[in-house]
A and B are shown apart, each in its own frame.
Chain A
């Protein structure tokens, strides 16, 4: 073989190699869109038909995009979903579109698993980000980039034991009530009813300084989970207020049984729980001994009637080859009013779209499941609660950091320390924990 022949052979080999690379690279070019989701509710309530909305969205999407199929693995429980998704990501098989849990969102964004949606949102003429509640939309944002869109959102409401309040001569507070009102009611309600010398009727259960801080305009952490703000004035005021409330109980511990037994007037309850327990069959299983309703949180002197809002986010894989289709599907899930209305029918959360959650139709759907005497939370109030709500922090160590903060505050109560200086020290300790 002479040199020319060798060179020709080399060229052929190179061409074959390139061809092979192209074939390998273009494999999987058929239009199947993978969707990563978990079964059941994101809000810790029983949910029999969680897949109905997704199935409807898929049906609608596949009709609008002939030749495209959406594939998802059904039956992954929420507890296993993080691991399942992490395994997929590790293997380079990240679904094109997937749900991101609150605890995973920050990591998925920093890892680069979630695609930056800003350019899609900017280029799509059909898309208007003002259609979303800003709180809900902001929950999918990190470092000024939108990585996911809210699919479903859940504000926290205040559960009111109507029967107990009426018994003590109070009506259900209006939705613009404040700390003072709560304190007045609690002072009157907290008492010893059976005369055994121990307090057995209480004002609040599970309402503490964290909830109070939010409704006082306070914020506990920054979005990246590197800074804690419990030494802020709003938070300190909330800690003092919550301390006063718990002092009313004269050292008695309020339990879930007390509440279930109708001996507590107020308890924070998520919108998802509210909807679940207001509908059959749960409404006869739980809280059936008394009449109840949900209202907003009482406003602190520096804040508003707001509470924490949690959202279920859906994003697009940064490594998806079918980003355009993925974006279209993401829009069908989160931006389509018809599909979003299904959330009120088949799920327990609220839509993150203003037009859907604020609509009369939403109220009609909710009313269908409730008794005539129940006051249905109206769309305007719900919208306000979501719009002004405090987004739930989304970083991996949030629950640990919050537990640390709660134990520090508990120490302040128990050891009757100076609130201001103790919070300062606690904030330093938590900051130290966060940057570790």
Chain B
């Protein structure tokens, strides 16, 4: 890559140098020939044979040198110092174009190779943008348009050939040879330059492809990590549950089983003592229930632990509206929502699950959640405007919902004909305490 950069720079320097040589050679040649003609007193005859003559050959020589210096300065600013601002860079390219048109005009279209220099630069700096082909087209058009043969049809222009014709035949072919070599060498350099740029561009494309593949591999790895992490989380949770059960329920049940064994042994001999023992067991059992409740409460969703059910649902809705394009509306006619923990958990989870289904499977953009009291039951409907489904298939998360509602002795129905509807009826133990 780096080597190619150097090659391109080298070609550019060569082109600039060659253009300096050619422009100065053409103007200098015309200046020198004009002086020759003047010295040999053949000006009148010379004028008879030409269509036009340059305006002040000396001034043209000086003006061309100035314009070439301006081009070189602009090149140094752009290529060696580098502009910080892209607009300055583009501006300098336009400046180059204007200056080179000026040079071509001063040379009366006898040499338009300087335009190739400008377009080499334009191609170099616009190779990342889509306008490159437009610029290339513009370049070709202006190059063709400034051809001497074409331009001299409409305007009377001075012709370097007329000046070459002032010399004897031997020298004529010599001068013409130099002129042709200079102009074609410039064109050859331009073609080499274009070839390098194209090659470099092809290299860039290959690099991009390689990087893309690398990214793809990294992504796959990341997905594997994520799956592993999830599995690890599950394992961790399972271990926690196992430890919890072992520590609380296991301990209590072991105690109860040992106590009951003792009771079986003593019930016939000492019924009173046994009764006392059973009371102790009853106490331990209650303690165990408390322990279990505490453990279960540790598994509750975060939001529910901190907030009331209604607030938790509203937070879920808000989070959802904030994070996704699906708009969720929650309409609750069942205040105050004070249920038992398991009931709250179930309602929360059913809503969460349904929202997930609506988004994941239904591609819904709107979900309406309604909850109201009916004959001591709570009715919960979740309706979305998604694609729905003709036949309810298991594994769409509906099984979980059904299980949760069933645990509370409730019923649930699904309808996938107009979006997707989850319609649940849950019998609530209003105010009932079971401890």
A contacts, CB < 8 Å to B: 3-4, 6-7, 10, 13-14, 17, 20-21, 24, 82-83, 85-87, 89-93, 104, 107, 110-112, 319, 396
Question: Can you list 27 A-B pairs with a CB-CB distance of less than 8 A?
Answer: A3-B82, A3-B84, A4-B84, A7-B77, A7-B83, A7-B84, A7-B88, A10-B77, A13-B73, A17-B66, A17-B69, A17-B70, A21-B66, A83-B44, A86-B43, A86-B44, A86-B46, A90-B34, A90-B37, A91-B34, A91-B58, A92-B54, A92-B57, A92-B59, A111-B52, A111-B156, A319-B55
Q: How far is the CA of A14 from the CA of B47 in the complex (A)?
A: 38
Q: Across the interface, do A107 and B48 meet the contact criterion of CB distance under 8 Å?
A: yes
A-chain residues with CB within 8 Å of residue B88 when the two chains form the complex: 7
User: Assuming the A-B contacts A6-B77, A91-B34, A319-B55, are A86 and B83 also in contact, with contact meaning beta carbons closer than 8 angstroms in the complex?
Assistant: no
Q: Across the interface, do A92 and B46 meet the contact criterion of CB distance under 8 Å?
A: no
Q: How far is the CA of A83 from the CA of B39 in the complex (A)?
A: 11
B56 located at the interface, meaning its Cβ lies under 8 Å from any Cβ of chain A in the complex: yes
Which residues of B, 110-166, contact A by the 8 Å Cβ criterion?
156
A-chain residues with CB within 8 Å of residue B47 when the two chains form the complex: 86, 89-90, 107, 111
Return A133 CB to nearest CB of chain B, in Å.
Answer: 29
Return A87 CB to nearest CB of chain B, in Å.
Answer: 4
Q: Which A-B residue pairs are the 6 nearest by beta carbons?
A: A92-B56, A86-B43, A86-B44, A87-B43, A6-B81, A82-B44
B-chain residues with CB within 8 Å of residue A89 when the two chains form the complex: 43, 47, 53
Return B51 CB to nearest CB of chain A, in Å.
Answer: 8
Q: How far is the CA of A85 from the CA of B77 in the complex (A)?
A: 45
A-chain residues with CB within 8 Å of residue B81 when the two chains form the complex: 3, 6-7, 10
Q: How far is the CA of A14 from the CA of B77 in the complex (A)?
A: 11
B-chain residues with CB within 8 Å of residue A10 when the two chains form the complex: 73, 77, 81
Beyond A7-B88, A17-B69, A89-B53, 20 extra complex contacts between A and B, CB < 8 Å: A3-B84, A7-B77, A10-B73, A10-B77, A14-B70, A21-B63, A83-B44, A85-B44, A86-B47, A91-B57, A91-B58, A92-B56, A92-B59, A104-B44, A107-B47, A110-B51, A111-B47, A112-B52, A112-B156, A396-B48
B contacts, CB < 8 Å to A: 34, 37-38, 41, 43-44, 46-48, 50-59, 62-63, 66, 69-70, 73, 77, 81-84, 88, 156
Q: How far is the CA of A83 from the CA of B43 in the complex (A)?
A: 6
Q: How far is the CA of A293 from the CA of B378 in the complex (A)?
A: 143
Q: Is the interface of B mostly helix, strand, loop or mixed?
A: helix
Partner of A92, one of B43, B50, B51, B58: B58
A-chain residues with CB within 8 Å of residue B38 when the two chains form the complex: 87, 90-91
Q: Across the interface, do A91 and B41 meet the contact criterion of CB distance under 8 Å?
A: no
Q: Across the interface, do A24 and B62 meet the contact criterion of CB distance under 8 Å?
A: yes
Return B103 CB to nearest CB of chain A, in Å.
Answer: 14
Return A401 CB to nearest CB of chain B, in Å.
Answer: 15
Q: Across the interface, do A91 and B77 meet the contact criterion of CB distance under 8 Å?
A: no
A-chain residues with CB within 8 Å of residue B84 when the two chains form the complex: 3-4, 7
A-chain residues with CB within 8 Å of residue B51 when the two chains form the complex: 110-111
B-chain residues with CB within 8 Å of residue A14 when the two chains form the complex: 70, 73
Q: How far is the CA of A107 from the CA of B52 in the complex (A)?
A: 10
Best-buried of A21, A90, A92, A396 by chain B (most CB within 10 Å): A90
Return B383 CB to nearest CB of chain A, in Å.
Answer: 63
With CB as the reference atom, state the residue of chain B lying closest to A84: B43
Return A112 CB to nearest CB of chain B, in Å.
Answer: 6
Q: Across the interface, do A90 and B55 meet the contact criterion of CB distance under 8 Å?
A: no
Return A399 CB to nearest CB of chain B, in Å.
Answer: 13
Return B289 CB to nearest CB of chain A, in Å.
Answer: 77
Q: Across the interface, do A111 and B53 meet the contact criterion of CB distance under 8 Å?
A: yes
A-chain residues with CB within 8 Å of residue B44 when the two chains form the complex: 82-83, 85-86, 104
User: Assuming the A-B contacts A3-B84, A6-B77, A6-B81, are A90 and B43 also in contact, with contact meaning beta carbons closer than 8 angstroms in the complex?
Assistant: yes
Return A19 CB to nearest CB of chain B, in Å.
Answer: 12
Q: How far is the CA of A87 from the CA of B53 in the complex (A)?
A: 11
B-chain residues with CB within 8 Å of residue A112 when the two chains form the complex: 52, 156
A-chain residues with CB within 8 Å of residue B48 when the two chains form the complex: 107, 396
Return B153 CB to nearest CB of chain A, in Å.
Answer: 16
Q: How far is the CA of A60 from the CA of B62 in the complex (A)?
A: 39
Q: Across the interface, do A110 and B82 meet the contact criterion of CB distance under 8 Å?
A: no
With CB as the reference atom, state the residue of chain A lying closest to B35: A91
Return B169 CB to nearest CB of chain A, in Å.
Answer: 22
Return B164 CB to nearest CB of chain A, in Å.
Answer: 16
B-chain residues with CB within 8 Å of residue A396 when the two chains form the complex: 48
Best-buried of B38, B41, B43, B51 by chain A (most CB within 10 Å): B43
A-chain residues with CB within 8 Å of residue B73 when the two chains form the complex: 10, 13-14, 17
B-chain residues with CB within 8 Å of residue A7 when the two chains form the complex: 77, 81, 83-84, 88
B-chain residues with CB within 8 Å of residue A111 when the two chains form the complex: 47, 50-53, 156
Q: Across the interface, do B82 and A90 meet the contact criterion of CB distance under 8 Å?
A: no
With CB as the reference atom, state the residue of chain B lying closest to A81: B44
With CB as the reference atom, state the residue of chain A lying closest to B70: A17
With CB as the reference atom, state the residue of chain B lying closest to A5: B81
Best-buried of A10, A17, A112 by chain B (most CB within 10 Å): A10
B-chain residues with CB within 8 Å of residue A92 when the two chains form the complex: 54-59
Q: How far is the CA of A319 from the CA of B57 in the complex (A)?
A: 14
Q: Across the interface, do A91 and B66 meet the contact criterion of CB distance under 8 Å?
A: no
Best-buried of B37, B62, B77 by chain A (most CB within 10 Å): B77
Return B38 CB to nearest CB of chain A, in Å.
Answer: 5
Q: How far is the CA of A10 from the CA of B84 in the complex (A)?
A: 14
With CB as the reference atom, state the residue of chain A lying closest to B34: A90
User: Assuming the A-B contacts A10-B77, A21-B66, A83-B41, are A90 and B156 also in contact, with contact meaning beta carbons closer than 8 angstroms in the complex?
Assistant: no
Q: How far is the CA of A319 from the CA of B88 in the complex (A)?
A: 37
Q: How far is the CA of A319 from the CA of B34 in the complex (A)?
A: 18
Return A16 CB to nearest CB of chain B, in Å.
Answer: 11
Q: Across the interface, do A90 and B66 meet the contact criterion of CB distance under 8 Å?
A: no
Return A85 CB to nearest CB of chain B, in Å.
Answer: 8
Q: How far is the CA of A6 from the CA of B82 in the complex (A)?
A: 9
Q: How far is the CA of A128 from the CA of B34 in the complex (A)?
A: 40
Return A78 CB to nearest CB of chain B, in Å.
Answer: 13
B-chain residues with CB within 8 Å of residue A85 when the two chains form the complex: 44
Return B408 CB to nearest CB of chain A, in Å.
Answer: 73
Return A8 CB to nearest CB of chain B, in Å.
Answer: 11
Best-buried of B47, B58, B84, B88 by chain A (most CB within 10 Å): B47
User: Assuming the A-B contacts A17-B70, A21-B66, A112-B156, are A90 and B77 also in contact, with contact meaning beta carbons closer than 8 angstroms in the complex?
Assistant: no
Q: Across the interface, do A110 and B58 meet the contact criterion of CB distance under 8 Å?
A: no
User: Assuming the A-B contacts A10-B77, A107-B47, A112-B52, are A20 and B66 also in contact, with contact meaning beta carbons closer than 8 angstroms in the complex?
Assistant: yes
Return A28 CB to nearest CB of chain B, in Å.
Answer: 11
B-chain residues with CB within 8 Å of residue A17 when the two chains form the complex: 66, 69-70, 73
Q: How far is the CA of A110 from the CA of B52 in the complex (A)?
A: 8
Return B61 CB to nearest CB of chain A, in Å.
Answer: 11
Q: Across the interface, do B46 and A90 meet the contact criterion of CB distance under 8 Å?
A: yes
Return B47 CB to nearest CB of chain A, in Å.
Answer: 5
Return B366 CB to nearest CB of chain A, in Å.
Answer: 55
Best-buried of B46, B56, B69, B88 by chain A (most CB within 10 Å): B56
A-chain residues with CB within 8 Å of residue B59 when the two chains form the complex: 24, 92
With CB as the reference atom, state the residue of chain A lying closest to B85: A7
Q: How far is the CA of A21 from the CA of B66 in the complex (A)?
A: 8
B-chain residues with CB within 8 Å of residue A86 when the two chains form the complex: 43-44, 46-47
Q: How far is the CA of A14 from the CA of B84 in the complex (A)?
A: 18
Q: How far is the CA of A87 from the CA of B42 in the complex (A)?
A: 8
With CB as the reference atom, state the residue of chain A lying closest to B62: A24
A-chain residues with CB within 8 Å of residue B58 when the two chains form the complex: 91-92
Q: How far is the CA of A21 from the CA of B106 in the complex (A)?
A: 15
Q: How far is the CA of A110 from the CA of B47 in the complex (A)?
A: 11
